[in-house]
Structure 1
């Protein structure tokens, strides 16, 4: 009985190893890599479509979850000062500014996806669900920040929200705390735009990763179909 158990266990391990190797081979093939790219591109399109619509941006919980702590602190302070209406305006203006980042974000993300290699696919397979988005984030987040921050800053200043926040927060301790006492002007100029840009970048990757995870079964089914076809 013991020998039989050991034999079954050995066969199971061998089968698992063969299956894993087979999945790896399929995933790193040109067809498998194409499937992975299609999933990522679908997530990018979904995210940027949300960014293009103010109401969709405001209603998206994955974007809300990406709100930096510094911006939360600013908003909490404003709420405590009885300026909840200013918080709402700030959020709406950030949502409007997001639409102006779509055209610069799309080529950065698309080019990164199209540059994925078989070696990247192997990392993705080993990393599991969400790994593809993490690789994409590693390679593009800094570039995205550099590209969209100036646009966000220009729009938020154009809308007048930065000036309004400076006026509302003057005399509070929040500004010195946020900028480590290094901001001689005691204002959120530049800072609010940076925080908003961070929210956009991280929120976008949250959407892409969620899309990847929702479609992970599609990836496996497709790869399984390829294996059957062979």
Structure 2
């Protein structure tokens, strides 16, 4: 896949140009480490590849968000009453469609994440790599949050807005909210959900990366190659 080719090329460049810096990191690793510079760098590459390719790519598929209970986007808390009320009066199908278009917009946006993750990996120093390798169960995810969240937000937001327009989400939500506002004794609501869905989409991306990182760090059986087993044994 394209992500693997891009990330592999990036790490080859880093390895070729930054051996001195990497050696300094290797020297700080626990005594008894016998892995070479290239093995350590490639092990980290493989772990990041696996998290992004295996987990994040799932989110770009139809129902990648909508049928994944870890990341499914629900209405914001202040609008839960809209969903509940519509279901109570027999408009559950309308409520379901409203949720579906929110999740479809997120699925459209996640395709924008790959090049930004590639750039974050490209900018990773070997001190970053050491911190990730010997860090806690979410160190790699935390690094990506720190280095990509703002850029991803800026990419996701217009895609989500466009997706809303493409699938008619604005009309669906106008219909949903108007029906809700017509119910006696309810307070009118007029939400702008683009920012909310953007934030939830970002949370979903990082959640799925964290799932794979935790698996690799805590379960030897999830280290599916000799290289992953060797490199991540350093942090066991």
When normalised by structure 2's length, the TM-score is 0.68
Report the CA distance between 1:56 and its aligned residue.
3.5
Q: Indicate the structure (1 or 2) with the bigger Cα radius of gyration.
A: 1
**Counterpart for residue 197 of structure 1:** 198
TM-score by length of 1: 0.70
- Aligned position for 1:181: none
Structure 2: unaligned runs, 5 residues or longer: 1-27
DSSP-derived class of the 1:57 partner = coil
Q: Which runs of 5+ in 1 are unaligned?
A: 1-19, 176-186
- Identify the residue that residue 213 of structure 1 maps to in structure 2: 214
* Aligned twin of 2:15: none
* Larger RCO: 1 or 2 (CA < 8 Å, sep 6+): 1
C-alpha separation in 2, matches of 1:28 and 1:192: 49
1:1-230, aligned counterparts within 5 Å? 21-22=29-30, 29-64=37-72, 67=73, 71-82=76-87, 83-170=91-178, 171=181, 172-173=186-187, 175=189, 187-188=190-191, 191-216=192-217, 217=220, 218=223, 221-223=229-231
Contact 1:41-1:113 at 8 Å conserved across structures: no
216-225 vs 41-50, which moves further: 216-225
- 1:110 and 1:32 map into 2 onto residues whose CA distance is 18
Is the helix fraction higher in 1 or 2?
1
Secondary structure, counterpart of 2:64 in structure 1: helix
Paired residue total: 191
Cα displacement string for residues 60-98 of structure 1 (whole angstroms, at most 9, x for unaligned residues): 12213xx47x62432442222333322311222233323
Contact 2:60–2:110 (CA under 8 A) maintained in structure 1: yes
RMSD value, Cα: 3.0
The answer on whether the counterparts of 1:24 and 1:122 sit within 8 Å (CA) in structure 2 is no
